[in-house]
Structure 1
Amino acid sequence: MFGLFGKKTGLPTPEEALPGRAQAMLVPAKHFVLGTPLDGPFPVGIQLALFGNGCFWGTEKQFWQLPGVYSTAVGYAGGLTPNPNYREVCSGMTGHNEVVRVAYDPDRISYADLLKAFWESHDPTQGMGQGPDRGTQYRSGIYCYTPEQKQIALASQAAYQAVLKAKGYGAITTEIIDAPTFYFAEEYHQQYLDKPGSRPYCGAQPTGADLPHPNQWNLPTELQSHLTAHPEVWSKNFAECPVVPH
C-alpha cells in the first residue's frame, strides 16, 4: 500500500524489503549528555528496554532525563532490512520503526516507571504514524527483552485502554512483541535535541490521559519488584514534548 508521493504506508513483505548491508552503523562511544557508554559494556545489573512512539528525537530526550536511566540510544527495530540507514527506513521499505533503547538501573527506576513515560507521551491509537509524522517508522511499539517485560507491558496496555476508551479514543494499536534486533541510527540522530544547532521538533500527540497506578494492573505478586512507582516519575507531566535544547 502506498500513500501520497509514493511513500509506502504498510509493512513490506520479505520480497519487497530493501537488502541492507552487513556493516553496522558507526556511533560514538559515549552518550552526548550522560557521558555513559552508548553501546556498553554496561555495569552489572543494568537492564534494557526498547520503545517506539513517534519521532525518536523527543522520545530519547524524555527518557534520558529520568532518574535511574543510565544511557539511551536511538535506532531502528522491528523490520526486515539489516543495518538500514535513515533514508531507507523513511522510505517504508525496511519495515523498521524509529525506536529508543533505554539502559536503566532497576534499583532506581522500574519498568513500570518507563511504561508511564511511554504511554503518556504519545497517542497509541494512531496506527502507522504519530501526529504529522506518517509512516511505518512512526508506529507505537513496545519491544520486550524478557517474558516479564511482555507480561507487564500487556497489563499496562489493558489498564490504559480502559482509560482511553472512557475518553472516547479507539483501540490501542501498539505492537507488543519480543525485542527484535536493534540497529543504531546515524551519529547525528543520537541525543539530537541536546546538540548545538538542533531543530526543536516533536510530532507526538499525547492524549493527556494518565496511566493508572501499577497496583491497578492485573498482574501476579511475583512481578511486584518491576512495578515500583517512584514519585519523581509519577509526578511528572509526560504530555508535553521535551523539544527545547539546553
Structure 2
Amino acid sequence: MSGKPLDGKTAWIPGGGSGLGAASAEALARAGARVVLSGRRRDALERVAARIIADGGAAEALPLDVLDRPAIAAAAAATGPVDILVYCSGMNVPDRALERLDGADWERIIGVNLNGAAHCVQSVLPGMRARGGGTVIVISSWAGQRMERVAGGAYSASKHALPALCETINIEEAPHGIRATCLMPAEAATDVLDSRPNPPPAEARARMLQPCDIGDMVAFVASAPARVCVNRIVMSPLANAFYAEG
C-alpha cells in the first residue's frame, strides 16, 4: 500500500484544463486520487491528464460545457461515484463595468461561475448521500468577500454567492457526511488575468499566489479527516495588491 491519503477516491474537477483547476487536479492525483478533468477544451484537458499520468497518477479527460445542465448530469454519471468535487470553472470579460456590460456576458458569467457550480453540486449529492460522505470544494475569489472595482459587477455577484452555496451544503448535508469548503483566493497568476482591461505584467504576477499554492490547499482540505469541515478559506499573497489599493 502506498499510504496516500486519497487512495481509492475519485475527484471530479470541472474547470480542470488550466489554471487553478489543473493545479488542483495535479495535487489531488499526487495525494492518490483518480481525477476526472472536465472543461470545454478537450486538448487542454488531455494535456493535464497526460502530465498527471506521466507523474504516476490516474487521470481522465471528460469534456463538458458547464452551461449545459443535461451535459453536467451526463458527465457526473460517466465519472462514476464522486468522492470529491472541486468546482474550478470561472470566467470574466474585459469590458465589465456595469454601464457597458453586455446582457449576454452577464448571463454567461453568472452561468459559469454560479449556476454551473450549483448544477455540478446537485449532480453529485445523491451518490455522496448514498455512500455516506463526500467533499465539495468550490473556488470563489477574494472578490467573493469584499468588493473590488477590478472584478466588475457580474463576477463579484457570482463569487459572493458561492460562500452561501457552500454553507447551504453544510447546513443541509452534514447529516449525510458531506462537507463543503469555499476557497477564496486573492490574485493568482493564471490566464484569467488576461481578461482584465489592463492585464498585469509578469513582475506583478510573480508576486501573486501561484496555481500550485491553491492546488496544495485543495488537496489539504480533501485529505482532512472526515470529521473536519473547513467551511471557508481566504488566501492572499503576502504582497496583497488589494490592501495597497484600499
TM-score using structure 2 length: 0.30
Higher relative contact order (CA 8 A, sep 6+): 1
Compare the two structures and name the one with the higher helix fraction. 2
TM-score using structure 1 length: 0.30
